[in-house]
A and B are shown apart, each in its own frame.
Chain A
Amino acid sequence: MSKGEVDYVPARGGFSFDLCRRNEMLLNKGLKPSTGNEFNFWKIPSYCTWDGVILGADTRATEGPIVADKNCEKIHYMAPNIYCCGAGTAADTEAVTDTISSQLKLHRYHTARESRVVTALTLLKSHLFRYQGHVSAALVLGGVDVTGPHLHTIYPHGSTDSLPFATMGSGSLAAMAVFESKYHEGLSRDEGVKLVCEAICSGIFNDLGSGSNVDICVITKGQKEYLRNHLLPNPRTYISSKGYSFTKKTAVVVAEVLLTKITPLKQLVEVIEGGEAMEE
């Protein structure tokens, strides 16, 4: 079987179909294709102690001395079993986690397996290193995959750590003080959530860059709980007990807007089939 010389054309983006011919050949030889619906099932023994990862974050986004968003979401979705908390420049953390999340999804389709935390870690780490620290994203990546629970920190220049507990951001010292004094192994789920809440609250009340509410995300094998606004330790101070009523004038303006009639315009454009092609 002689193969003719194929001119090598470098990829210019988009999807790569290089392996299609090879897949076809394998199918002809009798290989069963993997569908997207196959997943490995694991039995959780009942004698195991609670095993998983708990992520927590505050909800304040600042623009210098001003609070730009008092209830933002800092716990980003990466995969059904992996979540990532981001500190630093909000645009950078959002963009980087979204990019890697979509890369992970494509990888899941390609391999028909659950994503692993180290995959996300390596993708994030190489992306951040490539930009030499200019992408100002400090991340705490946590998740549970087939190899067990994992927790990693990723710094803006691309270095990573694997730790039992980790904090990042301006409130990291206040939160770390709580972890260093109160963390021990063998915490149950509720104790763990309580400890993470305490650490975030310590950041909220002792650091000016953190504030508002506490978000929690609990990830265990096979399931995750995203507890948005799990704690609201900063409620509005003065609320009128009588409620708030609006004067009659405001009601009239609202009604006028709702009653506006819409008249459709007549179509004046004619579509001609088969005209001449545009000049380039």
Chain B
Amino acid sequence: MKLLDSTDSGNSSSIERTQYPYVTGTSVIGIKYKDGILMAADMGASYGSTLRYKSVERVKPVGKHSLIGASGEISDFQEILRSLDELILYDNMWDDGNSLGPKEVHNYLTRMMYNRRNKFDPLWNSLVLGGVKNGQKYLGMVSMIGVHFEDNHVATGFGNHLARPILRDEWHENLTFEDGVKLLEKCMRVLLYRDRSAVNKLQIAKITEEGVTVSQPYALKTFWNFNAFQNPTAGAEGSW
């Protein structure tokens, strides 16, 4: 759809707006744990119903204190990373001993997403922003229309429906690193079973006061040996 931009008086140049996403990543899950933030995302990017890319890093560090994870259009995510790079660069150039923390980056992203949405040209992403600064843990989320909030556990995309019930039940304050990873893996396994655009190759990223670690990609174990799967038409040949 091509529309005239109202600021272009007389010039009938057509402006294109993002109508629908093309290459998309699926859910991202983030939780607060004892020492900081844990974030998990798989490495797949789908082109419609084709699984086109299988090594896309959807969780990236931002500055010294934050991690960003994105689901949705990958090109918009790359654009966001470029803007954040510029932001962090300018902040470093001040050289004043202070650096942007997760709360500030979250606010910057919120303003960016909301402004784009007001111009009917959204960045088609749901972002998870987590970090630790001066001992304070922060975990927040921004959606493509600018809805933003801060919570102890967040999930985007399909994770909203499948992971959030598990996190609400089983998250508690002061999870250890192992328990946090186990909880994230439990959610990612359910997503792997029940989300059609999920891939069995995920990365878990950790951020603490010391810094960021993004794990190597690995796969989850799945179980398919239920008795009912072995012979589903027992007793009723011809049905399925």
Chain A residues near B (Cβ < 8 Å): 116, 118, 121-122, 147-148, 150-151, 160-164, 173-174, 176-178, 180-181, 185, 202, 205-206
Contacts and interface: CB of A to CB of B under 8 A. Distances in A.
B165 A177 contact: yes
Given A164-B227, A181-B186, 16 more contacts: A116-B235, A118-B236, A118-B239, A121-B239, A147-B234, A161-B232, A161-B240, A162-B228, A162-B233, A162-B240, A174-B162, A177-B161, A177-B194, A178-B165, A180-B189, A185-B226
B166 A177 contact: yes
Contacts of B232: 161-162
Contact of B190 (A121, A162, A177, A205): A177
B153 to A, nearest CB: 13
A122 B235 CA distance: 13
A176 B235 contact: no
A176 B233 contact: no
Nearest to A119: B236
Contact of B226 (A116, A160, A164): A164
Which 4 pairs of residues, A with B, have the shortest CB-CB distance? A118-B236, A147-B235, A164-B228, A173-B161
Interface residues of B, number: 25
B229 interface: yes
Contacts of A148: 234-235
A185 B229 CA distance: 12
Given A162-B232, A185-B227, A122 B239 contact: yes
B77 to A, nearest CB: 25
B164 A206 contact: yes
A57 B239 CA distance: 26
Contacts of A161: 232, 240
A176 to B, nearest CB: 6
B165 A174 contact: yes
A160 B240 contact: yes
B192 to A, nearest CB: 9
- Tell me the dominant secondary structure on chain A's binding face: helix
A118 B236 CA distance: 7
Point out which of A118, A121, A160, A173 has the most chain B C-beta atoms below 10 A from its C-beta. A173
A121 B235 CA distance: 12
Contacts of A160: 239-240
Interface string B200-224: 0000000000000000000000000
A202 B228 CA distance: 24
Contacts of B166: 177-178, 181
Nearest to B190: A180
A174 B161 contact: yes
22 contacts: A121-B236, A148-B234, A160-B239, A160-B240, A162-B228, A162-B232, A162-B233, A162-B240, A163-B228, A173-B194, A174-B162, A176-B162, A177-B194, A178-B165, A178-B166, A180-B190, A180-B193, A181-B186, A185-B227, A202-B169, A205-B165, A206-B165
A206 B162 CA distance: 10
Given A122-B239, A160-B239, A176-B194, A181 B189 contact: yes
Given A151-B228, A162-B233, A205-B168, A177 B240 contact: no
Contacts of B239: 118, 121-122, 160, 162
A202 B234 CA distance: 32
B31 to A, nearest CB: 15
A181 B169 CA distance: 12
A181 B234 CA distance: 26
Interface string B75-103: 00000000000000000000000000000
A162 B234 CA distance: 10
Nearest to A179: B190
A151 B168 CA distance: 29
A100 to B, nearest CB: 16
A161 B236 CA distance: 12
B190 A181 contact: yes
Contacts of A176: 162, 190, 194
A205 B164 CA distance: 11
A164 B229 CA distance: 8
A125 to B, nearest CB: 8
Contact of B162 (A147, A150, A163, A173): A173
Contacts of B62: none
